[in-house]
Structure 1
Amino acid sequence: MDWYLIRSKIRQEFLAEANLHRWDIESFCPQIKQTKARRGKKQTVIAPLFPGYLFSKFDLGRDYRKVTYAHGVADVVMFGSTPAKVDDSIIQGIRSRMEDGFVSLDSYSFSPGETVQIQEGPFKGLLAVFERELTGTQRVALLLKSVSYNARLIVERDLITHVANI
């Protein structure tokens, strides 16, 4: 049996996972804890790591219809006419980052106004000013420093480092 990528109906990842389990089909919807401001108060909420998606391990010939008709499932993600297989190492990699049932994401401590350096990509080596983290993503907004102008740039959080660490 292989792992496949499943697209859930909007905000029904956990319902889809529960219904697949009822059919004795292994599924995995990694979760994270996030702190969000609601009505002026900070609250910890549980959210899927990949909103709208989960993983399921099943026999394609035997269980495909069960999976596609499970409550909460929108469809099996396809590449052309072939269901999207997910390598076991990806599932194990996600599971290895779990603590107390939730995926632990690396925390970065950048402060607004701090100078950072971009480590990869087309802007590698350039200095920028950290502006803010973008909510619910692993991206940050930076102000790119240049001699003649400053430009706003959005990059993956992993691609920047503190200038003091260089």
Structure 2
Amino acid sequence: MKSWYLLYCKRGDQPRAKLHLENQNVVCYYPEVDIEKVVRGKRKMVTEPLFPSYVFIQFDADTGPSFTTIRSTRGVVDFIRFGALPSIVPDALIAELKKIEAQTEGVMSGLPQIGDTVQVTGGQFSGFDAIYKEADGEKRSILLVTLVNQQVKVKVGNQDIAWQKN
């Protein structure tokens, strides 16, 4: 009977491992998500794994391929295990992950949109409401903060910004 297992892969090798595992007739589930990120100062859509370095696989251990064959597959490091044998992942968990993935189809934005009202949660402007202006690299943003009835541009770390996502 087919069961789901979780594999740990070499960093960035999930696509390679998935390709080689599928060539061995192993069912692979490798959830990915589209994320809007700032790359080299520009907003860009990037597809990233939901669980970096992990691939869910489904196969029948009695009929093959063997655990050793799968562990020897290019890009695979080892099974996730508790004790001597690889742990079986419940079918209900995989079904729930697929359901959630289908519901959240689309873009997850890592930053507010230009013109969004944000609140500064840390640093010297903590507690201030501001207007999001633009990204300043990957870790900072430029905000418009009202000081003495005038809007002033300030640079704030992204970890110090809170906003209501639409």
With the shorter chain as reference, the TM-score category is 0.5 to 0.7
Could you tell me which runs of 5 or more consecutive residues in structure 1 were left unpaired when the two chains were aligned.
116-128, 130-134, 136-153, 155-161
Question: What is the percentage of aligned positions where both structures have the same residue?
Answer: 26
Q: With the length of structure 2 as denominator, give the TM-score of the two structures.
A: 0.61
Secondary structure of the residue that 1:67 maps to in structure 2? Answer: helix
Contact 2:37 2:109 (C-alpha < 8 Å) held by counterparts: no
Indicate the RMSD between aligned Cα atoms, in angstroms. Answer: 3.4
Post-superposition CA distance 1:2-27 (Å, at most 9, x none): 10010011111111111111111101
Give the CA deviation at 1:65: 2.3
Matches within 5 A, 1:55-134: 55-61=56-62, 62-63=64-65, 64-99=67-102, 112-113=118-119
SS at the partner of 1:83? coil
Q: Could you say which structure has the larger radius of gyration?
A: 2
- C-alpha change, 1:80 and 1:44, in structure 2 (3 Å) is same
Secondary structure of the corresponding residue to residue 113 of structure 1: strand
How far the C-alpha of 1:60 sits from its partner, in A, is 2.4
Q: 2:30 and 2:109 mapped to 1: Cα distance?
A: 21
Cα distance per residue 1:45-90 (max 9 Å; x no partner): 1111000101000122422122111111111111111212111111
Q: Distance in 2 between matches of 1:79 and 1:70?
A: 21
Matched residues in 2 for 1:51 and 1:77: separation? 14
Moved over 4 A (4+): 102-112
Measure how far apart 1:105 and its partner are.
Answer: 8.2
Preserved contact between residue 98 and residue 104 of structure 1 (Cα < 8 Å): no
Secondary structure class of the residue paired with 2:70 = helix
**Separation of aligned partners in 1, 2:30 and 2:105:** 10
Q: Which residue does 1:143 correspond to in 2?
A: none
TM-score, normalisation: structure 1: 0.61
Aligned length: 122
Distance 1:111 1:6, change over 3 A: farther
1:3 is matched with which residue? 4
- Higher relative contact order (CA closer than 8 Å, sequence separation 6+): 2
* 1:21-45 alpha-carbon deviations (Å, 9 max, x no partner): 1111101100001111111111111
The separation in 2 between residues aligned to 1:67 and 1:103, in whole angstroms, is 30
- Residue 25 of structure 2 aligns to a residue whose secondary structure is coil
Structure 2, unaligned stretches of length 5 or more?
A: 122-126, 128-137, 139-158
Instruction: Tell me the distance in 2 between the aligned counterparts of 1:37 and 1:78.
Output: 36
